[in-house]
Amino acid sequence: PEKRFLINSADELQKTGKDKVRVEVRVVEPPVKIKLVRVRKQYQMREKQLVTGHALMPERADKQKWGELVEKYRLIETQQDGLTAADAARASGSRTFDLTARREKRTFSRLTLVAEVSRYLNRNPLEIEELLDATEEGTDELVAITNEFNELLYDEIIPRLFRQLYDLDESQQTEEHEVELIKMPPNGYYEVSAAKDKIVRMNDPQIKDEERAKSFHLDTYCFDSGSENWLFWDLLREQRVKKIYFTGMLTHGQSDFFIQYIDPDSRTVRSYYPDFIFQREEPDGSLKYVIVEVKADNQIEDAVVQAKKDFAQQIAVASGMEYRILKSSDADKRQFRVLL
């Protein structure tokens, strides 16, 4: 998660609720280091000669193809009479309404469309206007399409125009780095606020010596959810797990263990700090690191979660690791063995 605990913020610490306490978290020395392979992709652009009269949105002329293209952007409301599964299965009392027209959207003009495309493609606006006019649709029709579904500008029109303008040559480099799971705090400790029932300390009496030895790069773990708490205890006590670290607590630059990804909403590069990394003994006796993210069931298919997953899997595979997402409901039901 990108946001979990606010570090070194006096304002936030003063807002600590009744069920939360302030916790001083110290690094257990020597700091834990893990070898991680960073994947660097480079793209070389080669400019092409634009073919005039080419359709940017040929689906517009085909009702079926157009419907398939814009289906995911429609806002559909379904009203169901009856609350039981049988009622839903019969669907006799079900009504659907297309509320797409009610969606909040930006209204583009010829000028603002040209400006937006120019901003993304980093080309002169006058040149962009000529390029859009040279398409089969022309600028005015592309304005109409964009005003119907704003998403088409970013998902289809700009990428398609880019592909007409450039060829991309992709190259990939991998670099192995030894990263610290936690950096040494300048004042000797990190301070966080945490729920009392989600704090696990290294010296808690219920932790056995052999369990203590295979975890705790920090002397205290403050979990964000009961699901994370359950998973930690289950993995800590699993014999095939040789090391287990909770890495989802300090997520504001205190760790080098992060994965960069492109946020699909803001279209910017962000840093993502996974919840756990543990070392698993394989059937042949070898050891393998597994990176784990615990997510609420209703967030699994979220676009940002999937973007993190895609980039994390690239890093994990390049590093000889695995990346797994565990539903919080599975963690709550102690169904952690799917990770083994």
Q: Report domain extents, the chain.
A: 10-40+174-339, 74-169
Distance of CA 232 to the CA centre of its chain: 22
**Residue 288 — φ and ψ, nearest 5°?**
-140, 135
Three-class SS state of 48 = coil
The CATH architecture assigned to 10-40+174-339 reads: 3-Layer(aba) Sandwich (3.40)
* Residue 104, phi then psi, degrees to nearest 5: -75, 130
Instruction: Name every residue whose Cβ is closer than 8 Å to that of residue 134 and which is 6 or more positions away in sequence.
Output: 50, 52, 53
Does this model's pTM top 0.85? My answer is no
What pLDDT digit, counting tens, does each position of 88-128 carry? 555 556 676 666 666 778 999 999 999 999 999 999 999 99
Structure tokens at 248: 């989802």
> In 3D, which of 19, 27, 23 has the Cα closest to residue 7?
23
Give the separation between CA 176 and CA 318, rounded to whole angstroms.
9
In 28-40, which positions are buried (b, 16+ CB within 10 angstroms) versus exposed (e)?
A: eeeebebebbbee
What is the per-residue pLDDT for 98? 64
* Residue from 226, 247, 216, 234 nearest 339 by CA: 234
- pLDDT single digits (tens) 269-326: 999 999 999 999 999 999 999 999 999 999 999 999 999 999 999 999 999 999 999 9
Would you state the pLDDT for residue 251? 86
Residue spans of alpha helices (H) in the chain: 10-14, 63-70, 85-90, 110-121, 125-133, 138-148, 151-152, 158-165, 209-212, 226-236, 303-318, 328-332
Backbone angles phi, psi at 76, to 5 degrees: -115, 130
**Per-residue pLDDT tens listing for the chain (340 residues):** 433 344 444 454 455 556 789 999 999 999 999 999 988 888 899 999 888 899 999 999 999 999 999 998 877 666 666 666 665 555 556 676 666 666 778 999 999 999 999 999 999 999 999 999 999 999 999 999 999 999 999 999 999 999 999 999 989 888 899 999 999 998 999 999 999 999 999 999 999 999 999 999 999 999 999 999 999 999 999 999 999 999 999 988 899 999 999 998 888 899 999 999 999 999 999 999 999 999 999 999 999 999 999 999 999 999 999 999 999 999 999 999 999 9
